[in-house]
Structure formats: structure tokens, C-alpha cells
Amino acid sequence: MTDKNSKQLAGEIDSFLSANPEIKQVEVLATDICGHFFGKRYPISKLATFAQEGLAMPASMFVLNTLGEPLDGIRYGVDDGDPDAHFYLVPGSLCLNNWGNKPRAQMLATTCEDDHPAYFEPRYVLQRAIDGFTARGWHPMVAFELEFYLFDAQRDADGLLQIVRNPKTGRKDTATVLSSTRVGDFEEVIDDIIHACQLQSIDTGAISSELGPGQFEINFNHHSDVLRAADETSLFKRTVIEIAKKHGMCASFIAKPLLAYAGNGLHMHISVVDDEGRNIFDRGGSAHQRLHHAIGGLLDTMPAAMSFWAPSVNSYRRYQGGISCAPVSLTWGNENRTVAFRIPLAKQGAWRVENRVPGADANPYLAMAATLAGMLHGIDNEIDPGAATTEAVEGRDESLPLKMSAALAATRSSAALKATLGEQFIELYSQHRAAETAAFENHISSREYDWYL
């Protein structure tokens, strides 16, 4: 850790303790490949030591499966003796959370401050993608948009999710998009989510009801610190899940929780500025050719990126075509929400691209890393995206991998993603997702007996 970071951390901790003398515990958190937090709860007095020396946690934590279990074929934590990695506190991440039985501090940790970071840490993978732009004197500006569902806390007799009941009427929620009434009826849980975000310095934007019953979207403002934007998105998912529990609800970011209703998307807006703060996609009132080249790269790498944007078996249920607004076609367009890569209306030269493909179950660090890698690939190679799509896209593109096995095969063969994200990481990630998919599919459901017994 640099002396600068150590001094910054020491000052941050001193200020926090002075302002919050009643806080006795701190949660130190890091994010794994699946996008879940792991970590430990410590007496808050430990923070000063961690600021100077860092702390240790098993490196294998990054590569456990969704249930927090080791995966077949992944050697880390099994064949290597399960060694620790050295973690460092992330400056600027010390804050409060308020959903437990009492307020606690929390702080993020990373291996990235070391000369030998864990190459499979999602935060490090995203940093590699950012570094590709930095080397050219460019700096991405990003914003995430996340959809989620609120369900009843109790499942039905078959173990299936139940549509949440309106807190004010007691009736099952209905799917009315952009309904101010729905937002108002769920205002207690939404207000608690926003307050918890404020405690964590997560700057939220627009709040809207979405296409599904119990489905909402809360946006984030554009961020010049891409890592912090991904941090906030990950923390937001944790926050929504925990606050929902306090209100007797179950929150889910699963990509397609209900087959009859819209899925949950993770939309990402990306612009790029140079060292002088000028948008490199702006050509004085019109889009610069670089923006089209960036989209060309996204289209070229889209098959390989699908495993990052749709990382589970359920993810692919979301891609149905039609009016679902979950595009799975090799398309781009201006102000067209049915295409994969959309150029929104630019005000005052704020040209950007919106990636509308990922599901809300995607790891924000890895989804953004794959997106930035594709854009850089397109700009460097001046890839022509072809003609913009001006009409609604109804169907799915059969040339795209719409199953995990096919998506991972495309990922493994992508020279562009390997060049930016690292060949070693691409191989491990592919093994990790393939092993979890195999473990998930190695299960006999009751439907098999109902149909085939």
C-alpha cells in the first residue's frame, strides 16, 4: 500500500470514529466472481491496524460458487492448500449500514493495492479494462441502471415466489409501468433503501415502477470513478436485499424471476473523456466516428461477452425478444430501446452508448469490464458497426450464444477479451461458470418425475 493511501485511510478512520463514537463493529467486504460479498466482522478498533498493514482472507473466496461452495475443477482452495491473499482497505469506502439489530460500519477491501493482486478478483479485472483507456489518455464515465423485484417473504407450497402485496392496500401488486401510485404505495421500503444508500454515500437518481408486479428501478448518476460506480452498484444490490427483509419482503435481482413478466436488466451508460475533460465521442453537435467504432467493437465481441452479461442458467430466460426490452440481437440504433446498443439523445454534446443486454444478475465489475474491453477493441481497430436499426427488433439473433455452454465457448475463443481482461482470467472464469452450470444441472426436479416417471 502506498504511503498516500495509508495516510488517507488513517484520516478517514479518525474522522469516522469521531463522528460515530457509538459504533463498535465493522464489516470488511470484498466481491467474488458471482458478484456476492464475502468478509468478516471485526471490532472497529482493528481498522487502524488494517489501514497500516492490511488484512488476510483466503484467496479462494473469490472463486466459490453462488452458494459459497468450492467448485469441481477449480484448484484454488482445494489443491493449493487454501492460502490467504493480502487485502487492503479501499479509501473512501468507510460508511454506515443500518439494517442489522444495530448500526455498524462497513468498508471494502481489495487485493489491488499490492504488486501481486489476485488476477481473478473482479475489481482487478475491471481495473485492467480501465487501464486500457488510461494508457491512451482517456477516461470512461459510467452510470448503471438496475431493475429488481420485491416478492412476498414466504414462498408458496411448491417453493415458488409469490407476488408481493401492496403495503397500503393489502392486494397483490399489479404491473403498471411508471406508476406514481405504485411508487407511493411502496414508499416506506423505497425510502428506507434510499436512506441506507445515503449512509453509504451512494448517489441515487430516478425511481420508477417497472413492467412487472413488484418490479422497480433506481438509477445512479454518471460517475467519473468507474471502480466506485461498480462498488456502489454491488453495495446497492446488498442494500435492497437487506432492507426488503426488514419490511417482510424478499428482493431479487435474478434475471427472469417470473416467466410471464419482464426480467431484470442491468443497463450501463458509457461515455469517454480525454485528459482535458472533452468527450471523445462528440464531434461538435454530432456523434464522433469513435462512438460508432466503439459500438462496432461491442457488436464484434458481443457473443464472447454474453457469459459476463448473462452469467447463469436463469439469465438466458430473459432473452425472449418482442417488447420485453431485453435485446439479444446484433443491433444498434439511436433512441431505440429494442436494440442491444443504444445511443441516447445527447444533450450539450453528452454522447454515450447504452449497453442494454446485461441482466441484473451480472457481476457489475465484470459486466462493465467486458463492455469496456469491447469498446476499446472497436476504437483501436476502427470497426464499422454497419447501419443503425431504425425499427423495433422483435426476434432473437440465432447467431448469438443463448445457452451458457455456447456463451462460454465464445468467451474462451475471444482474443479481444483476453487482450484486455487477461488470458489467465478468461480461462479461469470459463472454468468457473462451466463448473457451476454443471453442478446446477446435476439435479432431478419434480417435473422430471411428473413428466417421465
Q: Which residues are CB-neighbours of 39 under 8 A, at least 6 positions away?
A: 27, 28, 29, 30, 57, 109
What does the block give as the cell for 321?
A: 425478444
Instruction: Based on the fold, state whether residues 30 and 148 are members of the same structural domain.
Output: no
pLDDT in tens, 27-78: 999 999 999 999 999 999 999 999 999 999 999 999 999 999 999 889 887 7
DSSP, residue by residue, 292-317: HHHHHHHHHHHHHHHHHHS-STGGGG
Instruction: Based on the fold, state whether residues 297 and 442 are members of the same structural domain.
Output: yes
Between 404-412 and 423-441, two packed helices, what is the crossing angle to 10 degrees? 170
Instruction: Based on the fold, state whether residues 65 and 206 are members of the same structural domain.
Output: no
Instruction: Based on the fold, state whether residues 402 and 314 are members of the same structural domain.
Output: yes
Answer whether residue 299 is part of any domain: yes
Rounded Cα gap, residues 264 and 241, in angstroms: 14
Instruction: Based on the fold, state whether residues 47 and 24 are members of the same structural domain.
Output: yes
Between 122-134 and 226-246, two packed helices, what is the crossing angle to 10 degrees? 150
Length of the chain: 453
pLDDT in tens, 71-100: 988 988 777 888 999 999 999 999 999 999
Instruction: Based on the fold, state whether residues 195 and 47 are members of the same structural domain.
Output: no
End position of a domain, from candidates 94, 118, 142: 118
Instruction: Based on the fold, state whether residues 264 and 373 are members of the same structural domain.
Output: yes
Instruction: Based on the fold, state whether residues 110 and 216 are members of the same structural domain.
Output: no
Asked if residue 269 lies in contact with residue 354, where contact means CB atoms within 8 angstroms, the answer is: yes
pTM of the model: 0.96
pLDDT in tens, 293-312: 999 999 999 999 999 999 99
Question: In this structure, what CATH number is given to the domain that contains residue 178?
Answer: 3.30.590.10
Instruction: Based on the fold, state whether residues 163 and 102 are members of the same structural domain.
Output: no
pLDDT of residue 284: 84
Answer whether residue 364 is part of any domain: yes
Rounded Cα gap, residues 7 and 339, in angstroms: 47
Q: 319-346 as b/e, with b when 16 or more CB fall inside 10 Å?
A: bbeeebbbbbbbbbbeebebbbbbbeeb
Answer whether residue 338 is part of any domain: yes
What does the block give as the cell for 404?
A: 451458457
Answer whether residue 437 is part of any domain: yes
Answer whether residue 107 is part of any domain: yes
> Do the strands 104-110 and 25-31 form a parallel or antiparallel pair, or are they unpaired?
parallel
Rounded Cα gap, residues 385 and 252, in angstroms: 35
Instruction: Based on the fold, state whether residues 70 and 148 are members of the same structural domain.
Output: no
Instruction: Based on the fold, state whether residues 46 and 11 are members of the same structural domain.
Output: yes
pLDDT of residue 24: 97
pLDDT in tens, 200-236: 999 998 999 999 999 999 999 889 999 999 999 999 9
Q: How many domains does the chain have?
A: 2
Answer whether residue 123 is part of any domain: no
Closest CA to 163 of 178, 361, 171, 185: 171
Instruction: Based on the fold, state whether residues 79 and 162 are members of the same structural domain.
Output: no
The domain of 350 spans 131-452
What's the mean pLDDT when you consider all of the chain?
94
Q: How many CA atoms lie within 13 A of 62 on its CB side?
A: 28
pLDDT interval class at 382 (50, 70, 90): very high
Answer whether residue 125 is part of any domain: no
CA-based end-to-end distance of the chain:
61
pLDDT of residue 89: 97
Answer whether residue 342 is part of any domain: yes
Residue 324 has pLDDT above 70, yes or no: no
Residue 121 has pLDDT above 90, yes or no: yes
Asked if residue 251 lies in contact with residue 241, where contact means CB atoms within 8 angstroms, the answer is: yes
